[in-house]
Amino acid sequence: MGRSLILCTTLALTVMLSGCAEQFAVSNQTNNLSIAGQAAGKGGSESWTWKNTVGSAQVSWGGQAAEGRMTLKIEDAAGKQVFSRSLSGTSQEGFDGPTSSGAPGDWKVTLRFDDFTGQMGLSIRAGGSSGTGGWGGGFTP
């Protein structure tokens, strides 16, 4: 699935959720995880266990922050951090790239919120080349 399609799908899910103060839609299947949602003044963390049979993943993430910070952290089955990115302040960001290589099995995906107000969409699929990605520029639908 191309980055444009993922980001357009993310934005469509976000628009559908726009009437809710805090809402997350999650699809968690072996080798594919998608999360979309929005929050207002959210604190704390949300975590999901995700089955990755390959040992690497491709991450596509887009979001818009009005205030606060949201951090995405992914750990492999051995507990090694293979990916981390943050969205904060008043920014709109997008990312599409690989995680570092890790141990296949049950991976942990955590979103940490520090007084976060904004919206986000995340798609993780097993595979992709190993390495570290970087933030791209802002995205547009």
pLDDT by residue (tens digit) across 74-126? 999 999 999 999 888 787 888 899 999 999 999 999 999 999 999 999 999 99
The answer on pLDDT for 7 being more than 50 is no
DSSP string, 39-83: EEEEEEEEEEEEEESSS-EEEEEEEEEEEEEEEEEEE-TTS-EEE
pTM of the shown model? 0.76
Pairing of strands 23-29, 91-98: unpaired
Task: Could you please state the CATH topology (level 3) that the domain comprising 3-126 is classified under.
Answer: Jelly Rolls (2.60.120)
Boundaries of every domain in the chain: 3-126
Paired strand residues for 60: 96, 123
Neighbours of 52 (CB within 10 A): 27
Structural contact between residues 62 and 95, judged by C-beta atoms closer than 8 angstroms: yes
Distance CA(70)–CA(118), nearest Å, equals 9
